[in-house]
Structure 1
Amino acid sequence: MSNAAAPTNATAAKERLYSQLASSLARTTRNVQRTADLCELLQMDLHALRVFAALDAAKFMAVAKLVEERADEAEEITEAEQSR
């Protein structure tokens, strides 16, 4: 009787391990899909960040140009007043 029970126990253990493996693979598949979704979101966020950085750089350059022009004007006025 113990000989007949051994293959059944081995088969049951094998089926249990295959079931655990299938469960683990399903969980891994879900996690890989979630990671892919998060990578896509990250890519969109990085693109938006690049756009905002470019806009801020453009604003900074525009303000720097205005400040430089006003500084030049103030310098010209000062020189004109000193030459009088």
Structure 2
Amino acid sequence: MNLGTAPTNATQAKERLYSQLAGSLGRMSRAIGQTADLCEHLQVDLHAMRVFAGLDAAKFMTVAAQLNSEEDEKDTSNGKPTER
């Protein structure tokens, strides 16, 4: 029997395991790529949320300032001193 030409069960098992490892590494590489893409999308979404929150806060502060000035005008027109 010539051992150099016929693959042994151990060699076949090793090649099968390396093939499985290669497949697993390929799937892991794709999953990491998808995770990186999702992280980029998350960064874009977080930036948009910051902009939206800033605009919303500015609107709220504008409305609050207008309401406060209207209350001050009512208080001074009624002869009441403003308390602050």
TM (normalized to structure 2)? 0.85
Question: One-letter code of the match for 1:48?
Answer: A
Q: Which residue of 2 aligns with 1:9?
A: 9
Moved over 6 A (4+): none
User: Whose RCO is larger (CA < 8 A, sep 6+)?
Assistant: 2
5+ residue gaps, structure 2:
none
Q: Matched residues, percent identical?
A: 62
5+ residue gaps, structure 1:
none
Deviations, residues 15-64 of structure 1 (Å, cap 9, x unaligned)? 00000000000000000000000000000000000000000010011001
Question: One-letter code of the match for 1:44?
Answer: V
Relative to its length, the structure with more helix (as a share) is: 1
Count of residue pairs the alignment pairs up:
78
How large is the Cα RMSD of the aligned pairs? 1.9
